[in-house]
Amino acid sequence: MLSPEMNAPEARHERCRITVRGRDGEEQSFEIGRNELLLKAAIEQGIDYPHNCRVGVCGACKTRLLSGRVSPMVDLALSPLSNAQIEDGFVLACQAKVRSDLLVEAQLGRQALLPVCTVSSRVTRWRRLPGEVIDLRLKLDTPLRYHAGQYATLAESGSFTRRSFSFYDPPGDQPAQEVGFLIKRLPGGRFSEWLFERDRSGIKIWLEGPFGVMGVDDPDRDALCVAGGTGIAPILSIIGERLKRSARARFTLVFGVRTQQDLFAAEYLQALQAQAGERLRVIDILSHEPAQSGWRGARGLVTDALDDRLGLDFSAQAAFICGNYGMVEAVEKKLLALGVAPERIHADKFLPSGTP
């Protein structure tokens, strides 16, 4: 077992040399200050390092420590890493404070890295949707590039409170001048309470991004997409983008919310449906719809809709899943059991409500 704490003599200098080895054995090196976070430093160096949540939840940044020493900022036993991975020397780069020179191995280059920028913007749309969701559109002072499925952090001007939200538009050929987010009210959440307080049209908001890696797969492959709540935002972006890149891929989207009143994404899905025609099938499923209501659609959890009744060859699908942590974990498990190849499952796990 390779312990994060026991691989090299204590570095006595303040700078550490990091060497990152990719899947193909190619190495990239850079220097960072001791105690800096490995992932943050690698991204700042322009390295296409795998990541998503940046807070130790999703496991996308898993990195094998080949030599050197890091201090994990989270208890690895409670992290998304399996015991076997921990014993094999894996750490989470987003939570790894660098303590010495390092040689690490990571799955670099899954997606062309785009520069992370901090840009100012103005709110051009503040629109309440059903289910305590706001459609927030921002006109950017500096255009920004992002990939489908990525996210940005937003902060009201003059505040240090930031929250992360996924872009819902598919990226265009040119950097985006305007971007949109679907934001669910989070009781007690400072950003969301501020946003919901009153119409914020015209207000200045700082945006930092893009972050996250998701959605890389053969564009012609059929896709099964599963979204819970505002997890629909990155899915809208991914389907929209894949529709542009393939004239034949078909999409099945399972969208879960609590009740009919929470079906906030209807008009966005209708727009996508108009573009996709028969290539897109949408299944809304409600988990808490009153039994006596007139709802004739599916009831239950999103996992209840995932079975042979979908009529899919699961082994041929790419899967894209976005929603809260527990839902994504459950869907991943079910899809693996149904025969979806693990390397074709692309997931974005939102933090549980209230997690800082």
Q: Which of residues 74-113 bind ligand FES (CB under 6 A)?
A: 92, 94
- State the nearest-atom distance from the C-beta of 39 to ligand FES, in Å: 6
Of 7, 37, 51, 253, the one binding ligand FES by CB under 6 A: 51
Q: Is 153 in the site for ligand FES (CB under 6 A)?
A: no
What residues does 127 pair with on adjacent strands? 135
Provide DSSP, 309-345: GG---GGG-EEEEEEEHHHHHHHHHHHHHHT--GGGE
Which is closer to ligand FES, CB of 20 or CB of 61?
61
Q: Are 29 and 19 in contact (CB under 8 A)?
A: yes
Q: Is 56 in the site for ligand FES (CB under 6 A)?
A: yes
- State the nearest-atom distance from the C-beta of 33 to ligand FES, in Å: 20
Q: How many residues interact with ligand FES (rule CB under 6 A)? A: 12
Dihedral class, residue 339 (left if φ above 0, else alpha if ψ from -120 to 50, else beta): left
- The Cα–Cα gap between 266 and 262 comes to 10
Strand order in the sheet with 117-129: 163-166, 151-156, 204-211, 117-129, 133-144, 176-184
Q: Is 65 in the site for ligand FES (CB under 6 A)?
A: no
Which is closer to ligand FES, CB of 82 or CB of 201?
82
- The Cα–Cα gap between 100 and 36 comes to 11
**Near ligand FES by CB under 6 A, which window of 46-54, 251-259, 272-280, 337-345?**
46-54
Q: Is 61 in the site for ligand FES (CB under 6 A)?
A: yes
3-state helix, strand, coil in the chain (%, to 5): 25, 35, 40
Q: Encode 9-29: b = buried (16+ Cβ within 10 Å), e = exposed.
A: eebeeeebbbbbbbeeeeebe
- State the nearest-atom distance from the C-beta of 54 to ligand FES, in Å: 5
Of 42, 43, 47, 59, the one binding ligand FES by CB under 6 A: 59
Of 53, 176, 223, 347, the one binding ligand FES by CB under 6 A: 53
**Near ligand FES by CB under 6 A, which window of 51-59, 114-122, 177-185, 304-312?**
51-59
Q: Are 46 and 117 in contact (CB under 8 A)?
A: no
**Near ligand FES by CB under 6 A, which window of 58-66, 151-159, 215-223, 237-245?**
58-66
Q: Which residues bind ligand FES (CB under 6 A)?
A: 51-54, 56-61, 92, 94
